Amino acid sequence: MSDLSQIVKAYDVRGTVPDQLNEPVAGALGRAFAQTLRALGEDRGTVVVAHDMRDSGPSLVKAFTDGVRAEGINVINAGLGSTDLLYYASGILGLPGAMFTASHNPAQYNGIKLCFAGAKPVGQASGLAAIRERAQELLDTRAEMPAPAGDIETREMLADYAAHLRTLVDLSGIRPLKVVVDAGNGMGGYTVPAVLGDAVLPALPLDIVPLYFELDGSFPNHEANPLEPANLVDLQAAVRAHGADLGLAFDGDADRCFVVDADGAPVSPSAVTALVATRELAKHPGATIIHNLITSAAVPEIVREHGGTPVRTRVGHSFIKAEMATTGAVFGGEHSAHYYFRDFWGADTGMLAAMHVLAALGEQDGPLSVLGAQYERYTASGEINSVVADQTAKLAQVRAHFSGEQQDELDGLTVAFGDGSWVNLRASNTEPLLRLNVEAPTPERMSELRDEVLKLVRG
């Protein structure tokens, strides 16, 4: 019997196929989603669904949509899509949605990201716990699936999605750029030709060099997780070999985008956040910009310098999106390369962030290394994970060690020092890990603080 507590996470459903996530589980989740929408007053009569390139996607989608239709709700099946294409569909159609993807996870995984109408996130506190409980009840009682009462329609959304993004950032007048794009055999291979190429819209002044555009959920070349440096190696080599102006790397469901400059050097997501923030503030003077607490301290500094109001949040898309809705923020960024836009229903889209980088680079003559350096002010450790048996005890030990410094517990433990350095130590929600991030004005100071904390955590 399936234990849904193992696969229904804080923000989505994620598990291995078929032992954890299979057609009966997907069907139960579809029924539970429909029932929960109705109970919460979020039923719009139709649900829109899409799936990534994983082989298990179509059969899971069918089972899920059978469950939704069994509850009398119609379905629009958008077919293949990136996660942000599904958010576009949910936003433009005003419908709840379900995206079947396991993002950057290995091939044996699949999952579901759910949203209310207008791409509003469904998380544990906003309906996902109720969906899990109801689906578990349906599975445990072996409830028979009623005959579908809702209709189903297949609708192509790619061209409309691409056209919408092009209305948000105009790339038609930039100088010509050569861009290597590593899709990692994920959905970027489907969406990049439509948005940045000439597959469905007029050509832009971009020479796209494709890398691993073939859709293949077995990820034969490398994992579709650009957060890991090893997965950027091919992109970095190709950028140098082709003499490109920059490189873009998308994760499996193409909702995150990483950037490297002409030398192959990564541009930090914090620098991209600051760059996009300044562009949004130029359009919306005085607006609010969201950043999570482990983005660089340069982000709120630059936001203030450009007349904006920075707001600091916990890590995680549900917190960012909730704060965007509360504050009316125009943009939000995370260290993990998730970027959120008010003019994209507050949802995250790596493609739109990439378009802002292309526009910023194409509107001036210098290289990306010079442009990006304007937004890089500190040295960061990157996220360092440590396996810890007792997370609470170790956090308490670090808290006591730095008792004389400024501390807060917005998300884990953050310690701020008078020289501009900071340390954040957070417990994983799903694994026995502590996640450490350190930033300092110099590499030497960063290394000193990093090693000091790791000695406490691992000693």
- Residues with a catalytic annotation lie at 103
Do residues 303 and 321 lie in contact, with contact meaning Cβ atoms separated by under 8 Å? no
Q: Find, among 83, 285, 259, 117, the residue nearest to 186 by Cα.
A: 83
Torsion angle, alpha carbons of 263, 264, 265, 269, to 10: 130
- The two tokens of residue 19 are 């032992």
Whole-number Å distance between alpha carbons of 96 and 48: 6
Q: Which residues contact 455 (CB under 8 A, 6 or more apart)?
A: none
CA distance 290 to 329: 7
Residue 439 near residue 296, CB atoms below 8 Å = yes
Q: Which residues pair with 121 in a beta bridge?
A: 115
Residues 6+ apart with CB under 8 A from 310: 288, 289, 290, 291, 299, 300, 303, 304
Got the DSSP string for 127-146?
THHHHHHHHHHHHHTTPPPP
DSSP helix/strand/coil, 18: coil
Backbone φ, ψ for residue 438 (5° rounding) = -130, 140
User: Would strands 246-250 and 177-182 be described as parallel, antiparallel, or unpaired?
Assistant: parallel
Q: How far apart are CA 196 and CA 371, in angstroms?
A: 21
